[in-house]
């Protein structure tokens, strides 16, 4: 591609043929138009034509934004989820989603959400299971396989989008999830090996590629991100099988891997019969040199040089220093792109005028990343001189970042150096602590508690909004929150819970609340990133050394404790969760950032203890999420994550009881690390797979106390006393009953008081029954 330009300068323009492309683009729109269109449609306030129109407009707008590229992705857009789209394209829907009345859209949302439009259209079904997309915070809908699974091509979605792109004059490159990744990410019901489905699946893919060719596609991007994970021989073989079968179609396949290097799969990936290979050159930087030597000389190498997982400006000079010799070597075989789809970053920095100008000058969102890509391409095609002034302007911000006092705080670095001397383990073993804590707290058997939050009611949110927009002053807001806390404490006393919480009324979000009070974090106004369906999150930006200005939660906890004689739990978000739910620094290792957060939170823990708070909970719901995709890297992550938790939590006296909470149920592979946290009590999600989970704890002989969540707070249904008693009785057969707690499986902030009160009443009843029988 590339325009040919006659250069007078002596700079050789050896790589004028470099090709630029993108893997995927954010879908929501600048003002989250898609979210609002979806939600209006679901509430039956608008019709399908309006929704589809919004989607079409967004696609069109987003293609225009990508128009400077040589190849623009088509088919990456989705109304809900791209894996679900692929399931529809492959004609692969679970039986329960078939045969319903209503149009295609109704069927689509019925599978996505368990229901179509509001309650009016047909009955509800179980929604497809949702789980995290690799190590991102995006969730996809899990394909369901069984021995009867059949596939049948349904090309309507792609045909539609292809047609739109063509009409718009877009240089379109269709994007598909690859067959091997599709199978890998799905779940087989009723046993059996899902690889047996591969031949049937490949027939549909082959047919689809043929059609794409017939429509005029030359390159097709096929995403196989599982190439960055550990694959056993069967799955490696599946790759060979798949791409040998697909090579006979006339399109050129660009096989894309992302979210890491290829590692052990390097040879496999390099030698598959495809026309090109895309590599995440940010996370897989070290792979590039090796790959250059083994990649057959006929193939295109696409290097993902712009970080699609973070929001920092690319150091274009460093990238060019590294890329120029590669471009020289590969010539027109070099393509460049973001490392992965830009789905995982916000759309446009232009919507953030309120950010500190220095910080702003270090950032790059999706649109800015495409501009960086284009600048790189021009520098490669025409020589750096041709972009000298733009490059200079771009790099200026970066140079400031490296020196900025906003980022580098000598006192934090000194504290970090000194922190090596701090204990990360408790002073005494659990049994001794347990004795002292029991003497102090005097809890009954089967102690009851909750996970922290109580309903975030309309009035609470309104008060916060009014405070933020200046309609009420700090004192009025403070009083409103105190009133909520008092109410929450009264309710818990009436219910007869044993360890109380203040209810978290004052918190908008469990990470944002702390980020806003710590130095080193910034918040965007519109930096939305899709989490699932119409849901978006606005991750904080961790840009500088982290420091606590002053105690963050102590006055709330002290006030709450003053209202009751029962123990009041202090409530903090743990360092690993704060890290994993933020965009973090790329100028130091993640673990260094995590340790800084841990130090700040440690001070908070000690202040809480000083203020007479005898039970402190440190939530780590995102601990598992940070687990690296490659097994070989997991132990190192878990080591520093456990150490950071220990640094936060374990400086307290024996008498202080540390709780932690995690809301997921996959513990098998990390249980030994959970045990190393050495929290006195861990409350966990069990509602959906209680026994499996407890088995993991039993097998490992988990040494401390556990509160297996006895009911699912996500469900509006009232829990049954009998069921809770049964669950806990069976837990008591596996684990010593003196170490069991009674609690819901997560915070209650999304529920109504009218649901919470009877549910907790029943939970307390269950505990009372257990005390009589055990
Ligand atoms: N303490 C938090 C709450 O109750 C925990 C939330 C979570 O685990 N995600 O809301
Ligand atoms: Zn939870």
Q: Are 362 and 312 in contact (CB under 8 A)?
A: yes
Q: Are 535 and 504 in contact (CB under 8 A)?
A: no
pLDDT of residue 123: 59
Query: What are the start-end ranges of the E strands in 59-121?
Result: 72-74
510 within ligand 1 shell (Cβ under 6 A): yes
Tell whether the model's pLDDT for residue 4 goes beyond 60: no
Tell whether the model's pLDDT for residue 1 goes beyond 60: no
For the chain, how far is it from start to end, CA to CA, in angstroms? 76
535 is an annotated ligand-binding site residue: yes
pLDDT of residue 671: 92
Who surrounds ion ligand 2 at CB < 5 A? 621, 663, 746
Residues 6+ apart with CB under 8 A from 424: 643, 646, 647, 650
Number of other residues whose CB lies within 10 A of the CB of residue 381: 23
Instruction: Tell me the pLDDT tens digit for each residue of 317-372.
Output: 999 999 999 999 999 999 999 999 999 999 999 999 999 999 999 999 999 999 99
Element (H, E) at 693: helix 690-699
84 is an annotated ligand-binding site residue: no
Q: Whose CA is nearest to atom 9 of ligand 1?
A: 621
Tell whether the model's pLDDT for residue 774 goes beyond 90: no
625 is an annotated ligand-binding site residue: yes
Q: Closest ligand 1 atom to the C-alpha of 747?
A: 4
Q: Residues 561-588: what's their mean pLDDT?
A: 98
pLDDT of residue 191: 82
pLDDT tier for residue 423 given thresholds of 50, 70 and 90 = very high
pLDDT of residue 9: 42
574 within ligand 1 shell (Cβ under 6 A): no
Bridge partner list, 499: 449
Report which of residues 120 and 611 the model is more confident about: 611
pLDDT of residue 12: 43
pLDDT of residue 687: 57
Instruction: Tell me the pLDDT tens digit for each residue of 649-695.
Output: 999 999 999 999 998 767 888 999 999 999 999 999 875 566 677 88
- Percentages (nearest 5) of helix, strand, coil residues in the chain: 50, 15, 40
pLDDT of residue 690: 63
451 within ligand 1 shell (Cβ under 6 A): yes
CA distance 315 to 398: 7
Q: Closest ligand 1 atom to the C-alpha of 451?
A: 4
Phi and psi at 687, nearest 5°, equal -50, -35
621 within ligand 1 shell (Cβ under 6 A): yes
Cα(664) to centroid of ligand 2, in Å? Answer: 7
Q: Is the ipTM of this complex over 0.85?
A: yes
Cα(774) to centroid of ligand 1, in Å? Answer: 30
Instruction: Tell me the pLDDT tens digit for each residue of 687-713.
Output: 556 667 788 889 999 999 999 999 988
618 within ligand 1 shell (Cβ under 6 A): no
Please tell me the number of the ligand nearest to residue 581's CA.
1
Q: Residues 399-426: what's their mean pLDDT?
A: 96
Burial group, residue 45, by CB count within 10 angstroms (0-12, 13-18, 19+): exposed
pLDDT of residue 11: 45
pLDDT tier for residue 438 given thresholds of 50, 70 and 90 = very high
pLDDT of residue 665: 67
Bridge partner list, 180: none
pLDDT of residue 2: 38
Instruction: Tell me the pLDDT tens digit for each residue of 198-252.
Output: 999 999 999 999 999 999 999 999 999 999 999 999 999 999 999 999 998 889 9
Active site residues: 714
Please tell me the number of the ligand nearest to residue 664's CA.
2
Element (H, E) at 303: strand 300-306
CA distance 212 to 576: 44
Q: Closest ligand 1 atom to the C-alpha of 663?
A: 8
pLDDT of residue 688: 58
Number of other residues whose CB lies within 10 A of the CB of residue 243: 23
Q: Closest ligand 1 atom to the C-alpha of 661?
A: 8
As a whole number, the mean pLDDT across the chain is 94
Tell whether the model's pLDDT for residue 579 goes beyond 70: yes
Instruction: Tell me the pLDDT tens digit for each residue of 31-57.
Output: 999 999 999 999 999 999 999 999 999
Bridge partner list, 692: none
Q: Whose CA is nearest to atom 5 of ligand 1?
A: 747
54 is an annotated ligand-binding site residue: no
Tell whether the model's pLDDT for residue 21 goes beyond 80: yes
Cα(715) to centroid of ligand 2, in Å? Answer: 14
571 within ligand 1 shell (Cβ under 6 A): yes
453 within ligand 1 shell (Cβ under 6 A): yes
672 is an annotated ligand-binding site residue: no
Q: Are 178 and 222 in contact (CB under 8 A)?
A: yes
pLDDT of residue 694: 80
Please tell me the number of the ligand nearest to residue 455's CA.
1
Number of other residues whose CB lies within 10 A of the CB of residue 722: 11
Instruction: Tell me the pLDDT tens digit for each residue of 281-329.
Output: 999 999 999 999 999 999 999 999 999 999 999 999 999 999 999 999 9
Q: Whose CA is nearest to atom 4 of ligand 1?
A: 747
Cα(713) to centroid of ligand 1, in Å? Answer: 11
pLDDT of residue 5: 39
Q: Closest ligand 1 atom to the C-alpha of 510?
A: 2
Bridge partner list, 300: 276
Cα(687) to centroid of ligand 2, in Å? Answer: 12
Please tell me the number of the ligand nearest to residue 748's CA.
1
CA distance 281 to 376: 14
293 is an annotated ligand-binding site residue: no
646 within ligand 1 shell (Cβ under 6 A): no
Burial group, residue 8, by CB count within 10 angstroms (0-12, 13-18, 19+): exposed
Q: How many residues does the chain have?
A: 774
Cα(501) to centroid of ligand 2, in Å? Answer: 15
Residues 6+ apart with CB under 8 A from 524: 346, 352, 355, 538, 541
For residues 232, 234, 237, 243, the Cα torsion angle rounded to the nearest 10 degrees is -100
Instruction: Tell me the pLDDT tens digit for each residue of 83-139.
Output: 999 999 999 988 777 766 678 898 899 889 887 665 444 556 777 888 899 999 999
pLDDT of residue 122: 52
Cα(453) to centroid of ligand 2, in Å? Answer: 10
749 within ligand 1 shell (Cβ under 6 A): yes
The pTM is what?
0.94
132 is an annotated ligand-binding site residue: yes
CA distances from residue 291 to 222, 387, 427, 629, 687 in whole angstroms, order as listed: 19, 29, 50, 20, 46
For residue 450 the two structure tokens come to: 């909750």
Tell whether the model's pLDDT for residue 588 goes beyond 60: yes
The full 3-state SS of 244-301, as one line of letters, equals: HHHCCCCCEEEEECCCCCCHHHHHHHHHCCCCEEEEECCCCHHHHHHHHHHCCCCCEE
Q: Closest ligand 1 atom to the C-alpha of 617?
A: 1
For residue 442 the two structure tokens come to: 């005097």
């Amino acid at each position: 591609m590339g325009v040919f330009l006659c250069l007078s300068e002596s700079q050789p323009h050896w790589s004028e043929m470099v090709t630029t492309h993108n893997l995927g683009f954010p879908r929501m729109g600048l003002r989250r138009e898609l979210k609002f269109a979806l939600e209006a449609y679901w509430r039956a306030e608008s019709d399908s034509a309006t929704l589809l129109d919004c989607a079409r407009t967004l696609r069109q707008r987003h293609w225009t934004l990508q128009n400077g590229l040589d190849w623009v992705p088509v088919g990456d857009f989705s109304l809900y989820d791209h894996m679900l789209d692929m399931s529809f394209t492959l004609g692969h829907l679970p039986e329960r989603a078939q045969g319903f009345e209503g149009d295609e859209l109704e069927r689509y949302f019925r599978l996505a959400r368990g229901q179509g439009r509001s309650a009016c259209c047909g009955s509800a079904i179980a929604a497809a299971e949702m789980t995290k997309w690799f190590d991102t915070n995006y969730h996809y809908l899990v394909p369901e396989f069984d021995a009867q699974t059949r596939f049948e091509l349904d090309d309507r979605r792609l045909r539609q989008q292809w047609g739109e792109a063509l009409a718009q004059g877009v240089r379109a490159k269709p994007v598909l999830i690859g067959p091997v990744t599709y199978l890998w990410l799905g779940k087989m019901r009723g046993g059996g090996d899902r690889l047996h489905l591969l031949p049937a699946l490949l027939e549909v893919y082959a047919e689809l590629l043929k059609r794409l060719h017939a429509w005029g596609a030359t390159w097709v991007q096929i995403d196989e991100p599982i190439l960055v994970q550990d694959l056993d021989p069967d799955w490696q073989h599946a790759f060979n099988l798949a791409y040998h079968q697909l090579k006979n179609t006339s399109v050129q396949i660009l096989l894309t891997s992302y979210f890491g290097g290829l590692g052990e799969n390097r040879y496999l990936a390099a030698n598959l019969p495809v026309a090109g290979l895309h590599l995440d050159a940010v996370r897989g930087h070290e792979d590039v040199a090796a790959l250059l030597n083994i990649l057959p000389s006929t193939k295109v190498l696409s290097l993902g040089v712009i970080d699609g997982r973070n929001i920092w400006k690319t150091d274009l000079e460093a990238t060019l220093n590294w890329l120029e010799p590669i471009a020289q070597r590969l010539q027109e075989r070099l393509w460049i792109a973001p490392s992965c789809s830009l789905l995982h970053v916000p759309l446009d920095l232009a919507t953030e005028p309120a950010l500190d100008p220095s910080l702003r000058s270090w950032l790059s969102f999706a649109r800015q990343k495409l501009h960086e890509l284009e600048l790189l391409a021009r520098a490669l095609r025409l020589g750096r001189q041709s972009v000298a002034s733009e490059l200079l302007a771009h790099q200026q911000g970066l140079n400031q970042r490296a020196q900025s006092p906003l980022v580098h705080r000598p006192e934090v670095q000194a504290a970090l150096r000194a922190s090596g001397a701090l204990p990360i383990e408790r002073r005494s073993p659990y049994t001794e602590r347990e004795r002292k804590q029991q003497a102090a707290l005097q809890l009954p058997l089967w102690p009851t508690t909750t996970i922290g939050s109580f309903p975030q009611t309309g009035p609470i949110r309104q008060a916060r909004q009014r405070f933020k927009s200046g309609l009420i002053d700090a004192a009025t807001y403070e009083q409103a929150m105190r009133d909520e806390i008092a109410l929450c404490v009264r309710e818990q006393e009436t219910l007869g819970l044993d360890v109380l919480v203040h209810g978290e009324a004052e918190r908008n979000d469990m990470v944002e609340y702390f980020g806003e009070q710590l130095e080193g974090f910034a918040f965007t106004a519109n930096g939305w990133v899709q989490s699932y369906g119409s849901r978006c999150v606005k991750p904080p930006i961790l840009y500088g050394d982290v420091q606590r200005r002053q105690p963050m939660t102590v006055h709330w906890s002290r006030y709450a404790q003053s209202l009751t004689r029962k123990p009041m739990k202090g409530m903090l978000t743990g360092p690993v969760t704060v890290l994993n739910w933020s965009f973090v620094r790329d100028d130091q290792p993640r673990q260094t950032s995590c340790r800084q957060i841990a130090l700040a939170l440690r001070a908070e823990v000690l202040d809480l203890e000083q203020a007479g708070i005898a039970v402190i909970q440190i939530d780590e719901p995102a601990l598992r999420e940070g687990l690296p995709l490659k097994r070989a890297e997991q132990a190192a992550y878990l080591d520093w994550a456990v150490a950071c938790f220990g640094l936060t939590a374990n400086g307290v006296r024996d008498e202080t009881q540390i709780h932690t909470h995690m809301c997921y149920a996959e513990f098998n592979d990390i249980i030994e690390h959970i045990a190393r946290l050495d929290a006195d009590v861990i409350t966990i999600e069990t509602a959906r797979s209680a026994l499996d989970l407890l088995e993991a704890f039993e097998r490992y002989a988990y040494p401390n106390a556990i509160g297996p969540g006895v009911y699912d707070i996500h469900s509006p249904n009232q829990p049954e006393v009998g069921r809770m008693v049964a669950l806990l009785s069976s837990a008591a057969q596996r684990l010593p009953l003196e170490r069991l707690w009674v609690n819901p499986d997560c915070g209650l902030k999304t529920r109504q008081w009218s649901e919470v009160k009877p549910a907790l009443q029943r939970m307390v009843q269950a505990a009372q029954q257990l005390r009589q029988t055990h």
